[in-house]
């Protein structure tokens, strides 16, 4: 008997293992790679190990002693991996501008020298007298850094190593996070305000009327997100259908600004996310025994009171899980704000995408991504607790 | 009075939900170079542009290649996993299921950054294989949900009956379980393909210019220089997904009916 269970179990494991391996390699590992990109900072120390060992003892005043110069020359002579060297140069240049040209002159000179031990950096390029470059070199040496995660929340370490706030003009990550939460909250409230009465209406109807209402919710779910976004572009633009119609009936003289602003983003996101609000509420309401309302009324409650004291409280779980779902999806939204929003409506996803694809600053993209991932995971855990049904977003 | 209010509200929201989809379709046949109303005259010029212009045609082909590849990966892996998780023989099945569904939850941009870093390290960035793998990760949950639901609908007594009549496990699987699960597998594959077809964010991160998909091409077209080709592409996508959705609905309906038919005989 035991052998049979064991056989069944190993058979099941055999079936599950391909996906398990696939997900571990192509889902968990990339997420881990993103997290480590935020904290690992070994591009320089990997290429310049001797310099790293030598520069530790330097106090940051003036320029380091000759030993550090020798170590750097040795490291540069030994550096053969062009790609790793390029990474190191990029990292140093982002810390102290001008480092790229400085190394661009130093590296060939060092490699061309017949006896590297005789090379004097100060004669190769007088810029090596500049403390700025040596400080950047020293600060790039520790293999782990909290620079990215601090920068993600607009903080940094000052010269003495204590954590301080970044200047208000230097970065705007907090502002963008706040905006992300604000837009997501606006969308959630709009979805709840429309979705709750809509789901109640759909549940109270029967026959074809209910089918029409439900079909109107499900059909957009089946339509490509790009199509819906392009469609809102057509409707909202200055010469779009909405402005044309309003002008035609004489309500407005000049087109209302509906696109490339917050209003456009909220309208389009509400449209996209409304099904995620309606469906959970609807399924909860369907589970409420029909005779409860009539029972309340038979005991003397008016329709308003029966609604307020019976139907509404009982549909709250649906409202709650719908709201969590909408909010959770909204904070990670990228496409709609990117296409319908203005410069002041970009949410955290746009910033992450900008750092990753625009400037290849994976450290900062990873740190911001980590924050978004943590917030989403927390919301998802709460959602899992609240929603009893195993409804899956998008399915 | 209350009735009228209810009707107005319901109608307004139905219009809000459906209007965008119906507003974009006629523009696929406009003769104007602008993507807005009124339509001066109807013409096929933008449909023609969609099927002949190089960027658009290659993006359609790319979408089919990448969607097909991702669907195969996701369907095979997802079906195997659903079969493995079916009987509850494994410890911590709940945890596994949560893990497999996570790609639906993790924000696409977060997964995109991780994928980009990871695929660059593997040397798979800007390759078809890389994009197909990235899409497959997103598609697997849909296959697992669909196939698991189909497997759950199979009455275990049918399989027991088959083995009691002397069929070895492999035969039971091949002749009983698999045929009953096939509709779920196919509709999972359809979900997977539709997901890949509509995926933009991961594609932005991991695809090079040679792997531009239709959705990706629509994204840059809307962003940079919107013209009625977008409406033509939208029409194509809507028709495509409606066909796929209809197919999935048909399969689910047939599955329900066959379940109803087999149920009495199984008792």
For residue A365, which residues of chain B lie inside 8 Å, CB to CB? Answer: 113
Q: Confidence class of residue A61 from pLDDT cuts 50, 70 and 90? A: confident
Q: Which two tokens stand for residue B51?
A: 């099927």
What's the CA gap between B241 and B119, in Å, rounded? 30
What's the CA gap between A234 and A240, in Å, rounded? 5
For residue A260, which residues of chain B lie inside 8 Å, CB to CB? Answer: none
CB B207 within 8 A of CB B126: yes
Is there a single domain that holds both residue A104 and residue A215?
no
Is there a single domain that holds both residue A96 and residue A220?
no
To the nearest whole angstrom, how far is the Cα of A99 from the nearest Cα of chain B? 25
pLDDT at residue B234, rounded to an integer:
92
A155 within some domain: no
The answer to whether the Cα torsion of B114, B117, B118, B119 is positive or negative is positive
Interface contact A274-B200, CB threshold 8 A: no
For residue B195, which residues of chain A lie inside 8 Å, CB to CB? Answer: 394
Interface contact B14-A213, CB threshold 8 A: yes
Query: Which of A27, A205, A215, A390 to probe the B interface (max B CBs under 10 A)?
Result: A27
Find the CB nearest B113 among A328, A366, A392: A366
DSSP secondary structure code for residue A167 in this structure: P
Is there a single domain that holds both residue A55 and residue A135?
yes
Is there a single domain that holds both residue A121 and residue A189?
no
Average pLDDT of the residues of chain A: 87
CB A258 within 8 A of CB A236: yes
pLDDT at residue A320, rounded to an integer:
92
Is there a single domain that holds both residue A127 and residue A177?
no
Query: Range with the lowest mean pLDDT among A221-225, A275-279, B12-16?
Result: A221-225
To the nearest whole angstrom, how far is the Cα of A56 from the nearest Cα of chain B? 30
What's the CA gap between B113 and B106, in Å, rounded? 12
Query: Which of A8, A9, A38, A223 to probe the B interface (max B CBs under 10 A)?
Result: A223
Domain that holds residue A292: 173-386
Q: What is the DSSP string of B114-138?
A: HHHHHHHHHT-TTSHHHHHHHHHHH
Residues in contact with A275: Cβ distance below 8 Å, sequence separation at least 6, in sequence order: A217, A218, A220, A221
pLDDT tens column, B214-242: 999 999 999 888 889 999 999 998 888 88
> At A205, which CATH number?
1.10.3720.10
Residues in contact with A313: Cβ distance below 8 Å, sequence separation at least 6, in sequence order: none
Q: How far apart are the first and last CA of chain B?
A: 52
**Stretch A215-242: mean pLDDT, rounded?**
89
Is there a single domain that holds both residue A208 and residue A126?
no
The alpha carbon of residue A62 and the mean position of all alpha carbons in its chain are separated, in whole angstroms, by: 42
A218 within some domain: yes
Q: Phi first, then psi: what are they for A144, rounded to 5°?
A: -120, 150
Is there a single domain that holds both residue A135 and residue A181?
no
Q: Confidence class of residue B261 from pLDDT cuts 50, 70 and 90? A: low
A146 within some domain: no
* Residue at which a domain ends, from A139, A154, A188: A139
Q: Which two tokens stand for residue A140?
A: 């790039």
Q: Confidence class of residue A294 from pLDDT cuts 50, 70 and 90? A: confident
To the nearest whole angstrom, how far is the Cα of A136 from the nearest Cα of chain B? 25
The answer, yes or no, to whether residue A181 has pLDDT greater than 90, is: yes
A167 within some domain: no
To the nearest whole angstrom, how far is the Cα of A276 from the nearest Cα of chain B? 13
Q: Confidence class of residue B265 from pLDDT cuts 50, 70 and 90? A: very low
Report the domain count for chain A: 2
To the nearest whole angstrom, how far is the Cα of A388 from the nearest Cα of chain B? 14
For residue A220, which residues of chain B lie inside 8 Å, CB to CB? Answer: 17-18, 20-21
pLDDT tens column, B99-131: 899 999 999 999 999 999 999 989 998 999 999
By three-state DSSP, how is residue B57 classified?
A: helix
Find the CB nearest A237 among B36, B197, B231: B36
Query: So what's the ipTM on this one?
Result: 0.88
A13 within some domain: no
What's the CA gap between B238 and B215, in Å, rounded? 12
A147 within some domain: no
Q: How many CB pairs under 8 A join A and B?
A: 253
To the nearest whole angstrom, how far is the Cα of B191 from the nearest Cα of chain A? 8
Is there a single domain that holds both residue A92 and residue A240?
no
Is there a single domain that holds both residue A292 and residue A238?
yes
* Residue at which a domain ends, from A139, A157, A186: A139
Chain B residue with minimum CA distance to A33: B114
A159 within some domain: no
Of the ranges A167-176, A193-202, A298-307, B19-28, which is most confident? A193-202
The answer, yes or no, to whether residue B263 has pLDDT greater than 70, is: no
A15 within some domain: no
The answer, yes or no, to whether residue B153 has pLDDT greater than 90, is: no
**Stretch A230-258: mean pLDDT, rounded?**
87
Interface contact B116-A11, CB threshold 8 A: no
Q: Confidence class of residue A394 from pLDDT cuts 50, 70 and 90? A: very low
Is there a single domain that holds both residue A182 and residue A231?
yes
Chain A residue with minimum CA distance to B77: A19
pLDDT at residue A393, rounded to an integer:
42
* CATH class, B45-87+97-266 region: mainly alpha
Is there a single domain that holds both residue A197 and residue A79?
no
Is there a single domain that holds both residue A216 and residue A340?
yes
CB B42 within 8 A of CB B29: yes
Query: Would you call the peptide bond into B38 cis, given omega within 30 degrees of 0 as the criterion?
Result: yes
Find the CB nearest A217 among B17, B107, B115: B17
Query: Which of B98, B114, B207, B209 to probe the A interface (max A CBs under 10 A)?
Result: B114
As a 3-state breakdown, chain A gives helix, strand, coil percent values, each rounded to 5, of: 75, 0, 25
């Amino acid at each position: 008997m035991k052998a049979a269970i064991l056989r069944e179990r190993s058979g099941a494991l055999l079936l599950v293992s391909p996906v398990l391996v696939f997900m571990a390699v192509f889902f968990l590992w990339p997420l881990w790679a993103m997290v480590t990109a935020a904290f690992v900072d070994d591009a320089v120390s990997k290429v310049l190990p001797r310099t790293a060992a030598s520069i530790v003892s330097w106090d940051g005043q003036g320029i380091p002693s000759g030993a550090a110069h020798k170590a750097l020359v040795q490291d540069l002579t030994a550096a053969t991996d062009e790609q790793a060297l390029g990474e190191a140069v990029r990292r140093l240049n982002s810390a102290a501008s001008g480092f790229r040209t400085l190394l661009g002159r130093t590296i060939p000179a060092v490699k061309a020298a017949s006896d590297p031990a005789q090379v004097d950096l100060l004669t190769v390029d007088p810029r090596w007298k500049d403390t700025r470059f040596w400080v950047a070199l020293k600060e790039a040496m520790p293999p782990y850094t909290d620079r990215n995660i601090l920068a993600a929340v607009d903080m940094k370490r000052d010269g003495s190593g204590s954590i301080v706030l970044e200047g208000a003009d230097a970065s705007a990550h907090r502002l963008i996070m706040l905006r992300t939460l604000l837009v997501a909250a606006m969308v959630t409230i709009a979805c709840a305000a429309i979705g709750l009465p809509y789901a109640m209406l759909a549940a109270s109807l029967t026959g074809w009327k209910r089918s029409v209402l439900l079909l109107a919710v499900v059909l957009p779910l089946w339509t490509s997100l790009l199509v819906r976004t392009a469609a809102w572009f057509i409707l909202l633009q200055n010469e779009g259908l909405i402005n044309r119609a309003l002008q035609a009936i004489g309500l407005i003289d000049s087109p209302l600004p509906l696109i490339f602003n917050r209003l456009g983003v909220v309208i389009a996101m509400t449209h996209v996310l409304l099904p995620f609000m309606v469906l959970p509420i609807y399924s909860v309401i369907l589970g409420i025994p029909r005779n409860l309302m009539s029972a309340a009324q038979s005991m003397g409650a008016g329709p308003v009171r029966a609604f307020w004291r019976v139907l509404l409280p009982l549909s709250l779980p649906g409202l709650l899980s719908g709201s969590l779902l909408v909010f959770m999806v909204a904070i990670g939204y990228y496409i709609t704000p990117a296409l319908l929003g203005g410069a002041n409506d970009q949410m955290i996803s746009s910033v992450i995408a900008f750092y990753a694809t625009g400037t290849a600053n994976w450290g900062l993209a990873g740190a911001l991504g980590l924050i978004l991932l943590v917030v989403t995971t927390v919301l998802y855990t709460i959602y899992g607790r609240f929603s009893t049904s195993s409804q899956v977003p998008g399915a | 009075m209350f009735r009228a209010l209810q009707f107005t509200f319901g109608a307004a929201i139905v219009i809000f939900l459906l209007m965008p989809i119906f507003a974009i379709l006629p523009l696929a046949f406009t003769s104007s170079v602008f993507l807005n109303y009124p339509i001066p005259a109807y013409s096929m010029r933008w449909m023609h542009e969609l099927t002949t212009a190089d960027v658009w045609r290659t993006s359609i082909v790319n979408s089919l290649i990448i969607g097909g590849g991702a669907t195969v990966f996701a369907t095979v892996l997802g079906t195997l996993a659903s079969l493995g998780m079916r009987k509850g023989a494994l410890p911590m099945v709940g945890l596994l299921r949560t893990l497999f569904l996570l790609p639906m939850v993790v924000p696409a941009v977060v997964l995109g950054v991780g994928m980009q870093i990871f695929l660059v390290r593997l040397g798979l960035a800007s390759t078809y294989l890389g994009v197909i793998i990235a899409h497959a990760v997103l598609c697997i949950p849909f296959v697992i949900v669909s196939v698991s639901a189909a497997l759950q609908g199979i009455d275990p007594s049918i399989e027991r009956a088959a083995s009691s009549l002397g069929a070895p496990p492999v035969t039971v699987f091949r002749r009983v379980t698999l045929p009953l699960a096939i509709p779920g597998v196919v509709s999972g594959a359809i979900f997977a393909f539709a997901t890949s077809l509509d995926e933009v964010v991961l594609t932005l991160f991991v695809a090079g210019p040679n792997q531009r998909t239709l959705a990706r091409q629509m994204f840059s077209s809307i962003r940079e220089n919107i013209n009625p080709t977008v409406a033509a592409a939208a029409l194509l996508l809507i028709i495509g997904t409606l066909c796929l959705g209809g197919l999935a609905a048909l399969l689910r309906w047939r599955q329900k009916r066959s379940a109803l038919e087999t149920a009495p005989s199984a008792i």
